Chains A and B, each alone.
Chain A
Amino acid sequence: MTYKELTAIVQVVSVAVVTWWGAAQVAGDPELMQSAPAAAAMLVTAIGISIAFNIVVMIVGSIVVSIAQRAEMKDERADERDRAITTRAMRNGYLVMSVAALAGLLLLAFGNVPTVTATYALFGAAMLGGAADAVSRLVYYRIG
């Protein structure tokens, strides 16, 4: 496993962890489904958790993988294949984020849902886009 693959795996896990944490917060506090500022504040906290999670897990993951592979894991300079994979993965992430954002807008326009939903739709679209980018990178590193 390379450093870039580990980064993508951690990003996917991070999305899952933040989604789980956010869902738990919403389930435990009804105000989070009624007040947009409260929802936004919770989501800002979620971003902070995501950043902290990524940093800690990358450090621990690098150490664990280095021990398992018996070779220091370090990020290599990106070459043409890395750049091609990054470009294609970003394109996928952008597409998923756009579709998710559009779905959120349509839900708001025609779904008769509370306006606080827009806050979650915006955040969810960005998270989905990030997850699609990371999963795409993992797949492309395996197949091409």
Chain B
Amino acid sequence: MGKGENHITNTIRTLRFNAGEMTQAALAAEVGVTRQTIVAIEQGRYSPSLEVAFRIAKVFGKPLEEVFSYEG
């Protein structure tokens, strides 16, 4: 959510697949957000806070820049 176009892309869908087709609900539970928020982040409709972004990266054991990238 935010004004203007979202320039932040992510690889969460791929990372979930590589993590044994982890469900959005399971990822949400590990990160501590709702499943709807994971859906919105994955679809690029919502840019998470830095803290949530780091938590997502930590779940997959990846550095932040492998999960999120900015295409400005």
A and B from one complex: yes
CA distance A82 to B45 in the complex (A): 14
Whether A79 sits at the interface, judged by CB under 8 Å, is yes
Task: Tell me the dominant secondary structure on chain A's binding face.
Answer: helix
Tell whether B36 is near chain A: CB-to-CB under 8 Å: yes
Which residues of A line the B interface, CB within 8 A?
A: 2, 76-77, 79-82, 84-85, 88, 140-141, 143-144
Q: How many A-B residue pairs have CB under 8 A?
A: 35
Q: Which of B28-54 contact A (CB under 8 A)?
A: 32-34, 36-37, 40, 45-46, 48-49, 52
Chain A nearest CB from B24 CB (Å) reads: 13
Footprint of A on B, CB under 8 Å?
A: 1-2, 32-34, 36-37, 40, 45-46, 48-49, 52
Contacts of A81 in B (CB 8 A): 1, 33-34, 36-37, 40, 46, 48
Q: Are B48 and A80 in contact (CB under 8 A)?
A: yes
User: Chain A contacts of B34 at CB under 8 A?
Assistant: 2, 76-77, 79, 81-82
Is there contact, CB below 8 Å, between B46 and A144? yes
The answer to whether A144 and B37 touch (CB under 8 A), given A80-B52, A84-B1, A85-B1, is no
